Amino acid sequence: MDDAGTGTGYMKATFAAGCFWGVEAAFRKMKGVISTRVGYTGGQLNDPTYLDVCTGTTGHAEAVEITYDPAILTYRQLLAEFFHIHDPTTPDRQGPDVGCQYRSVIFYHDDTQRAAAESCMMHLDSGGRYRQPVVTHVVPVSEFFEAEEYHQQYFEKNKGTMCHILEKHGH
């Protein structure tokens, strides 16, 4: 599947795990990630802005769309990073960020991704890694609305700025 549409064999993955700044920065460090973009998906409003999504009324999640090379990086490795960088047991909250826009979601692009996500979550729940059940949603990808330019690669543009994801995991 050539999800990136470039004829290169690259694939896409889309995750929401709280504020997209730290999530994007963590994934950008992985070998095999070709590009990322942050935006909004999973809601009802067409072409939402950051201010729209911050109201918590549009249904969108702050998300990161990742283009990766499956010859270098597997989807399961992306899932492992996703579950490593956030707490998937807290509904509508990550660190200091509270609201449905910060919920934990895996937006799958095909049935293979869906099956891998569901398998990974079953393993996490049965393995006792967390005291509470995993509340991550696994839903089909919907239209992705790219966030405003100042949100893209935020930490690369704003050196020295930190967030709970990067502090907690030493990224």
Assess if residue 59 is contained within a domain.
yes
Q: What are phi and psi of 94, to 5 degrees?
A: -140, 120
Q: What residues contact 163, with CB distance under 8 A and at least 6 apart? A: 19, 21, 22, 25, 95, 155
Percentage of the chain lying above the pLDDT 70 cut: 89
**Strand partners for 61:** 41
Q: Are strands 11-17 and 61-68 parallel, antiparallel or unpaired?
A: antiparallel
Query: What does pLDDT average to over the chain?
Result: 89
Least confident of 23-37, 79-93, 102-116, 121-135: 121-135
Overall number of domains in the chain: 1
Residue 37 Cα to chain centre, angstroms:
10
CATH number at residue 58: 3.30.1060.10
Assess if residue 5 is contained within a domain.
no
Please check the confidence at residue 2 and state whether its pLDDT lies above 50: no
Q: Would you state the pLDDT for residue 143?
A: 96
Q: Would you state the pLDDT for residue 161?
A: 59
Assess if residue 17 is contained within a domain.
yes
Q: Are strands 93-94 and 97-98 parallel, antiparallel or unpaired?
A: antiparallel
Q: Give the residue numbers annotated as catalytic, written as ranges.
A: 19
Q: What is the DSSP string of 13-26?
A: EEEEESSHHHHHHH
Percentage of the chain lying above the pLDDT 90 cut: 71
pLDDT tens-digit series, residues 102-121: 999 999 999 999 999 999 99
Q: Which domain holds residue 148?
A: 11-169
